[in-house]
Amino acid sequence: MILLNGTSSSGKSSIASELLGILNDGWFHLGIDQFHRVRGPGGWTDEEFRPVFQRTVLGFHRAVAGLATAGNDVVVDSILGERWRLADCLQVFDGFPVLFVGIQCSLPELVRRERERGNRTVGRAAMQHPLVHQHGVYDLEVDSEHNSPADCAALIAAQLDQGPGKAFDQLRSAS
């Protein structure tokens, strides 16, 4: 399993797409945005949406684990901007080899991308930016601002060739 963690608009999905093109053996790409898109519209208030959001994220982690349990390799595209999300991943992905990758990008570039895309809530990346990397431990960090998605994917694939990551074990030991 390769877990890509970064803010909205940091390039996770683009990097994941590139990874699928260079990794062998039929890897899957599952992204949290995909799960949010396939949930029916609810017309919730912000307060009503919070538990729906949390259930979606928790279900997403279990869907990823389900694919991995069946022997599939998965590139996971997620935003671990709240401590409960990382804690859940540490629990649910226990026993799986996880390469934990931080996708780094400056705040001005994130804001530019967010505005340019037009399908994101402007300000979401700024809100996530100080939170998403707060745990501080990765197997690899890539800079999506100064490197293309293909270059980032090549760095990740090279790290994957070195064997399973150790960041999740370090984070579990620290909790």
Residues 41-90 pLDDT 10s: 778 888 888 899 899 999 999 999 999 999 999 999 999 999 999 999 99
Which pTM does this prediction carry?
0.93
In this structure, what CATH number is given to the domain that contains residue 132? 3.40.50.300
Number of domains comprising the chain: 1
Position 116: which residue type?
A: E
What pLDDT, on a 0 to 100 scale, did the predictor assign at position 1? 97
**Count of Cβ atoms closer than 10 Å to residue 64 Cβ:** 25
What pLDDT, on a 0 to 100 scale, did the predictor assign at position 94? 96
* Regions of the chain short of the pLDDT cut 50: none
Cα distance between residue 89 and residue 80, in whole Å: 9
Boundaries of domain holding 49: 2-174
